[in-house]
Amino acid sequence: MRPPPAGQAGSCAASHRSRPTASARQSQNHRQHWRPPVASPPTPSESSTPTGSTPPEPPAQRRRVSEAVHRRRWAILAVLAFSLLVVMLDNSILNVAMKTIAQPAPTGLGSTQSQLEWAVNSYTLVFAGLLFTAGLLGDRLGRKKVLLFGMLVFGAGSALSALSDSSGQLITFRAVMGLGGAFILPATLAIIMNVFEREEQPKAIGIWTGVVGFAIAAGPIAGGVLLEHFWWGSVFLVNVPIVVAAITAMAAIVPDSKDPRPSRLDAVGVLLSIVGLAVLVYGIIKGGQLGDFTRPEAWATILVGLAVLAGFVVYEAHSDHPALDVTYFRNRRFSASVAAIGLVFFALMGVTFFSVFYNQSVRGYSVLQSGLLVLPLALSQMFFAPRARLAVNRFGARAVCAGGLALTAVAFTGFLLLDQDTPIWVLEVLFFLMGTGMAHVMPPATVMIMSSLPREKAGSGSAVNNTFRQVGGAIGVAVLGSLLSTTYRNGIDGHLGALPAADRHAAGESVQATLAVAEKLGPAGSALVRPAHDAFIHAMHITAAGSAAVALVGAVVVLVFLPGREVTAAAGGDK
**Can you give the three-state secondary structure of 113-151, one letter per residue?**
HHHHHHHHHHHHHHHHHHHHHHHHHHHHHCHHHHHHHHH
Q: Largest Cα–Cα distance of the chain, in whole Å?
A: 89
Q: Which range scores top for mean pLDDT: 214-223, 289-298, 535-544?
A: 535-544
Cis peptide before 296 (omega within 30 of 0): no
Within 13 Å and on the Cβ side, how many CA atoms surround 241?
A: 3
pLDDT tens digits along 219-255: 878 888 888 888 889 999 989 998 999 999 998 888 8
**What pLDDT, on a 0 to 100 scale, did the predictor assign at position 431?**
93
Whole-angstrom Cα Rg for the chain: 25
Between 273 and 405, the higher pLDDT residue: 405
**What pLDDT, on a 0 to 100 scale, did the predictor assign at position 504?**
74
Cis peptide before 106 (omega within 30 of 0): yes
Within 13 Å and on the Cβ side, how many CA atoms surround 574?
A: 14
Q: Is the pLDDT of residue 321 over 50?
A: yes
- Taking the C-alpha atoms of residue 505 and residue 486, their distance in angstroms, rounded to an integer, is 13
Q: Is the pLDDT of residue 346 over 80?
A: yes
Continuous segment of H or E residues that includes residue 80: helix 73-101
- Are 292 and 482 in contact by the 8 Å Cβ rule? The answer is yes
**What pLDDT, on a 0 to 100 scale, did the predictor assign at position 428?**
94
pLDDT tens digits along 521-534: 777 778 788 888 88
Mean pLDDT over residues 431-449, rounded?
A: 89
Mean pLDDT over residues 51-60, rounded?
A: 40
Q: Is the pLDDT of residue 489 over 60?
A: yes
Q: Which of these, 246, 178, 210, 133, lies nearest to 389 by C-alpha position?
A: 210
> Can you spell out the DSSP letters for 234-294?
HHHHTHHHHHHHHHHHHHHHPPP---SS-----HHHHHHHHHHHHHHHHHHHHHHHHT-TT
Cα dihedral sign, 282-482-221-192 = negative
**What pLDDT, on a 0 to 100 scale, did the predictor assign at position 456?**
67
Q: Is the pLDDT of residue 315 over 80?
A: yes
- Are 186 and 281 in contact by the 8 Å Cβ rule? The answer is no
> Can you spell out the DSSP letters for 432-475?
HHHHHHHHTTHHHHHHHHHHTS-GGGHHHHHHHHHHHHHHHHHH
- Taking the C-alpha atoms of residue 503 and residue 500, their distance in angstroms, rounded to an integer, is 5
- Taking the C-alpha atoms of residue 460 and residue 189, their distance in angstroms, rounded to an integer, is 10
Q: Which of 2-6, 42-46, 191-195, 412-416 has the lowest mean pLDDT?
A: 42-46
- Taking the C-alpha atoms of residue 203 and residue 200, their distance in angstroms, rounded to an integer, is 6
The one-letter amino acid code at 327 reads T
Q: Is the pLDDT of residue 46 over 70?
A: no
Collapse the DSSP code of 66 into the 3-class scheme (helix H, G, I; strand E, B; otherwise coil) and give the result: coil
> Under 8 Å CB-to-CB from 314, ≥6 apart: which residues?
none
**What pLDDT, on a 0 to 100 scale, did the predictor assign at position 254?**
85
